[in-house]
Amino acid sequence: MLIDDDEPTNFLSSMIIEQLDCAEHVQVEDNGMRAVSYLINSEKLGYNNKDYPWPDLILLDINMPGMNGWEFLDKYKELGKSKRNVVIIMLTTSLNPDDKIKADDIISVTDFKYKPLTEELLKEILDTYFPDLLKNKPQPHHHIL
C-alpha cells in the first residue's frame, strides 16, 4: 500500500513495484483517511477479500493534507484487532531529524527511508523484510551493448 498525496510519486513508486513484480496488488491512497477506510473495509471483509486485500507492506508519507502520516499511525493503532503483521515504512522527503526520532519511538513503524523509492531501495526493503520474495523470481538478464 502506498499512502502519499503526491500523484507523480505514487505513479513512479507503482511503476517500480510493477517492474520488480513483487506484489499481487498495489493499493494507492492519497491521504491517511482513505487508507484507514481501506483497512477498515479489509478487516470487515476478511483480509483476503479480492477488492480489499490486507497489505503486507505500507509505504507511508508524513506530510499530507487531511490526515498526515502521524495521524494515520494513531488510527492504525486503533485498528488493533488485526493480528496480521504489516511492515510500515515511513517514506518521506522530510529532513527534520525529529521526524526520524518520532518514527523510531512508534512501535508500528518498522523503518524510516527517504524518497524517492528506487528499484535499489525497494530491493533493500524486500531483502530485509521479505527475504524469500525475490529469491524465487527469475531476474531479468541485462545485456551490455
91-105 pLDDT per residue, tens: 999 989 999 999 999
Closest CA to 116 of 19, 35, 14: 14
pLDDT at 18 over 50: yes
Tell me the Ramachandran region of residue 141: left when phi exceeds 0, alpha when psi lies from -120 to 50, beta otherwise: beta
22-66 pLDDT per residue, tens: 999 999 999 999 999 999 988 888 777 788 888 999 999 999 999
Higher-confidence residue of 26 and 84: namely 26
pLDDT reported for residue 127: 95
Ranges of beta strands (E only) in the chain are: 2-3, 28-29, 57-60, 87-92, 111-114
